[in-house]
Structure 1
Amino acid sequence: MIDAPYANLTPDLVLDAVSACGLWPDGRLLALNSYENRVWQVGIEDEAPVIAKFYRPGRWTDAAILEEHAFAQELADAELPVVAPLVFSGRTLLHHGGFRYALTPRRGGRAPTLESTEQLEWLGRLIARMHAVGAREPFAHRGRIDHATLIEQPVQAVLASSLLPESLHANYRNAAQRLDAAAAARQDAVGPVRSLRLHGDCHPGNLLWTDAGPHFVDLDDARGGPAVQDLWMLAHDEHAMQSLLDGYTSMRDFDPAELALVPVLRAMRQVHHAGWIAQRWHDPAFPAAFPFAAEPRWWEQHIADLHELADELE
């Protein structure tokens, strides 16, 4: 475990890394909101700024990162509004000062209006086109949205962490086991569903809107899984989901049985979020961003939430 994974990532190193690509930074740096990785907007002399993304050490293999880059380029080649990494001397995954990083063009935009039926249908059509590309072949290195990744591993991280009070270990374990069993039963009831390459973390924060329409950013959580994974986080209610599906099904078939998986995916995300905080607590950015996780009452509420999610599934 790296106690401070980005301790040596100084502004000078960021500028040097961009310079190493043959660009000329003008000294303007803007740190962008990112906890898992470190992301900077870097001003370039006489050119548009670029985005420099420094990957968290040890999270993904080089092969998995390159697979993300290839997927982004495949989507861009299909004329989808996805930002692909820039290529330098035939490479998209770059190394400097002990860090792995990639540069992409800066693409601005505003938050989407998810109460708009028109925008939701537009997003549905766009996601369907992404999925048509994603269905061509599976990921080889990026894993899947599954029990091991989103329940088992996060639960182990929480139980191994000093954040969870000892007095709550049994309660947390019981709640997690109950939720795990309920999620497995729901998945068994739904039966097999088709898996495809996904954006994976398709929430409003990874979506920007311009006068030309929407575009997606950050494929860092791209994995294999069911199509509904890229829809449910954009749907705040049943009407929104129906609007997304109206757009989606105008471009691509959708198996309605997948809708029964939404509570499972929601539960997995909640379990994973707590495990993610516990696993990353050694990174100084996490105690600063999530101070509530050091409070026993937050874990008491989390345990109650897990039981509530299990109730919904059962």
Structure 2
Amino acid sequence: MDSSAFSFQLLSPDLIVESLASIGIYIDSGLTALNSYENRVYQFHDEEHKRYVAKFYRPHRWNREQILEEHQFTEQLYRADIPVVSPLVINNKTLHEYQGYLFALFPSLGGRPYEMDNPNQMESVGTMIGRIHQIGATQTFSYRPTIGLEEYVYRPQEILLSSTYIPNSIQLDLKTVLSKLIKTIEQYWHDDWQPIRLHADCHAGNILWRDDNAIFLDFDDSRNGPAIQDLWMLLYGNQQEQRFQLDELLELYQEFYDFDKEQLKLIEPLRAMRIIHHLAWIIERWQDPAFPIAFPWITDIDFWKRQLSEFNQQINALKAPPLQLMSIF
């Protein structure tokens, strides 16, 4: 797709103010841009001193039906008393449009970063992910995609190998090592799992800790997939440390959703898929002015040499025995 289709070029401060006014929300102060590359997200106070977050969706990334499925999922979770940030209903709608831009309004919630090494917080996060999956498993998304090789491997491969931003001198090596990595992914990836609705981007940065509870943010990447997708990104360190962390997460998770241990074999394929997809995502968005500022190293040959080394390391990780649980559930 033409990168101009993803443009926020016309999203000026005046247009943002007008967009919010069109749904009866009037900015009093703020309009502070928050850290988001995919969409444009702003925090502000209205005339009644209430604090909100407005999200303007990147044009042509998700269609209206796909965005509404995300909203319906988070609303379903919210109604089940699961601490998620769900869009506000204004004029009987959660999704609004102004001059071609789709946008939604959310409450602005404060909190502390999730502490990945805190066992009490890990148990709380595991509980909430279990509850999310319990509800997520009641149906699948109709319009949003399912995690698979086409979206996460094959299309990103095309983007990477056709990119003019990657130094020419590294292209042959990139093609060779990337092809080897993809063939290894194909060996170890399987899709005989039960697809459920997922957060799908469940890393520590999308979790807040507030009032002794984990709050889950940003379901923008929601899609169907295997349950392990919402767990593996919360693991870090060596295998022994990851086994302990996964046990902590699953201890209370299991009370709400039955974890399929066969999905442990998917952790390294999913990690490799995320690495490839992330690199292609940066390149595909490169004409967005925010991306060269945030990722200046993408045109650096030294970066790509390190990336080739990481690809080879991931090939070895794929071939190694999968992570095992310490406990027997």
**Aligned equivalent of 1:139:** 141
**Aligned equivalent of 2:105:** 103
- Structure 2 residue 72 is the aligned partner of structure 1 residue 70: yes
CA distance in 2, matches of 1:313, 1:24: 52
**Aligned equivalent of 1:297:** 302
Does the CA contact (< 8 Å) of 2:28 and 2:49 recur in 1?
no
Q: What is the percent sequence identity of the aligned residues?
A: 38
**Aligned equivalent of 1:86:** 88
TM-aligned CA deviation for residue 7 of structure 1? 1.6
Give the aligned residue type for 1:194. Answer: Q
Give the aligned residue type for 2:22. Answer: A
Does the CA contact (< 8 Å) of 1:120 and 1:247 recur in 2?
no
TM-aligned CA deviation for residue 169 of structure 1? 2.2
CA distance in 1, matches of 2:269, 2:8: 34
Does the CA contact (< 8 Å) of 2:114 and 2:205 recur in 1?
no
Does the CA contact (< 8 Å) of 2:31 and 2:44 recur in 1?
yes
CA distance in 1, matches of 2:124, 2:29: 38
CA distance in 1, matches of 2:60, 2:175: 27
- Structure 2 residue 251 is the aligned partner of structure 1 residue 251: no
CA distance in 1, matches of 2:212, 2:164: 48
TM-aligned CA deviation for residue 2 of structure 1? 4.0
**Aligned equivalent of 1:49:** 51
Task: Return structure 1 stretches of 4+ with deviation > 3 angstroms.
Answer: none
**Aligned equivalent of 2:165:** 163
Give the aligned residue type for 2:205. Answer: G
Give the aligned residue type for 1:40. Answer: Y
Q: How does 1:111-190 map to 2 (within 5 A)?
A: 111-188=113-190
CA distance in 2, matches of 1:187, 1:101: 36
**Aligned equivalent of 1:193:** 193
Number of matched residues? 312
Does the CA contact (< 8 Å) of 2:139 and 2:196 recur in 1?
yes
**Aligned equivalent of 1:224:** 224
- Structure 2 residue 277 is the aligned partner of structure 1 residue 272: yes
Structure 1, unpaired ranges of 5+: none
The normalised TM-score by structure 2 is 0.91
Could you report, residue by residue, the CA deviation over 1:202-233 in whole angstroms, capped at 9, with x for unpaired residues?
00111111124111111100011110100111
**Aligned equivalent of 1:307:** 312
Does the CA contact (< 8 Å) of 2:3 and 2:284 recur in 1?
no
Look up the SS of the partner of 2:246 in the other structure.
helix
CA distance in 2, matches of 1:177, 1:294: 20
Give the aligned residue type for 1:22. Answer: G
The normalised TM-score by structure 1 is 0.96
CA distance in 1, matches of 2:31, 2:49: 14
**Aligned equivalent of 1:211:** 211
TM-aligned CA deviation for residue 55 of structure 1? 0.5
**Aligned equivalent of 1:35:** 37
Look up the SS of the partner of 1:169 in the other structure.
helix
CA distance in 1, matches of 2:81, 2:69: 19
Could you report, residue by residue, the CA deviation over 1:63-100 in whole angstroms, capped at 9, with x for unpaired residues?
11111111111111111111111122222111113211
Give the aligned residue type for 1:280. Answer: R
CA distance in 1, matches of 2:155, 2:29: 41
Does the CA contact (< 8 Å) of 1:123 and 1:247 recur in 2?
no
TM-aligned CA deviation for residue 238 of structure 1? 2.0
TM-aligned CA deviation for residue 180 of structure 1? 1.5
- Larger mean CA deviation between 37-46 and 89-98 belongs to 89-98
Look up the SS of the partner of 2:42 in the other structure.
strand
Look up the SS of the partner of 2:215 in the other structure.
strand
**Aligned equivalent of 2:324:** none
Does the CA contact (< 8 Å) of 2:198 and 2:222 recur in 1?
yes
